[in-house]
Amino acid sequence: MNKRVFLDNAATTPIAPEIIELISDMMKTHFANPSSIHSYGRESKIIVESARKTIANLLNTSPGSIFFTSGGTEADNMAIKCAIHDHKITHAITSKLSHHAVLYPLEDLASDGKIKLSYIDIDENGTICLSHLKKLLKNNERTFVSIMHANNEIGTIQPLKEIGDICKEYNAIFHSDTVQTMAHFKFDMRELNVDFMAASAHKFHGPKGIGFVYISEDIQIKPLLRGGGQERNMRAGTENIYGIAAMAKAMEMAYENLEEETIYIKGLKKYMIDKLKSEIDDVQFYGKCTDLEDSLYTVLSCNFPEKDNSEMLMFNLDIKGVACSGGSACSSGSSKGSHVLTEIVPNSMRPGVRFSFSKYNTKEDIDFTIKKLKELFG
């Protein structure tokens, strides 16, 4: 089989072998519904609550603040729709760089006339303007603020603590999509004024279809999904016990080895930056993604000179064995292009690529990718 490399870890990560083994073993022994009161059910319930406690301990919060969902998208929608409805919020603030799981539900609420939606100013790197946030909060009714911790396309990190402190000052509800940073950065919820956070297991070597929403004990909402009384009446639906246990284990493994793996992945990122600069003419980087200390260390977002077949770059890299993500601010045909890049570099036709790394990547993967890029741009 021809060699292939996977550099699309911001989209999803390979499931860790230990997690696959855990899921496989559990499926053989634990199949009962956690809501059942018999011994089989109670055993499943113990697994769910043990996982909740593990995650809560890792975030320095109480287990009562962790609610399991199907992933980050559900967690974001739950926070946005329920908080705005239940707290009678009429104004919301977000960034135009937000993930569509945040933008679309907020835009829907705005188009339905339920909220006024304001977009916070950003600089050329995608960093939000804190003074503009204060101005928007000061001049409006109680507000729902949604700012993602790290952008999934260009890796820009927002100052979570500062935003939370400002929101608390103005009695705003603060939600952050932390899907890209959960289990990649440390969080101490006793120190952060964040009301909602979203997470998804498949971003840190767990399975797909499972995530959680953190909800501050200071915030009360009604459930988004109605039905059974699961998740303490906060999220109906039979719990995905295999996914829940696997997510807790994957998160535990990530934090046990966080420092070592962070250093390793930053090393890969720096190696690729240096290789791109030295071997590919006119490569350019988005935002602050070349700053190893002030960007999402798993993401390297760049663009290349425009050529006749620029729109085929992702296809050509895939054919050559390199899996990554890409796009440009403007694309012809049916593609709308990247909404993030459109805000950062409007009217650019240069093909953009997002390379994203995990602990399973190697320098040999980088060398292979550079070789294939040179074949396309040499």
Catalytic residues: 330
Residue with tokens 């928007």: 136
Residue type, 169: E
CA-wise closest residue to 371 among 266, 279, 268, 271: 279
- Give the CA angle between residues 28, 32, 37 to the nearest 5°: 145
> How many residues in the chain?
378
User: What is the phi/psi pair of residue 133, to 5°?
Assistant: -60, -45
Radius of gyration for the chain, computed over Cα atoms and rounded to the nearest angstrom: 21
Structure tokens at 63: 């287990």
Pairing of strands 173-177, 196-200: parallel
Q: What span, in angstroms and rounded, lies between the C-alpha atoms of 316 and 279?
A: 19
Please give the C-alpha separations between residue 58 and each of 53, 66, 88, 177, 231, in angstroms, as whole numbers.
9, 11, 32, 18, 19
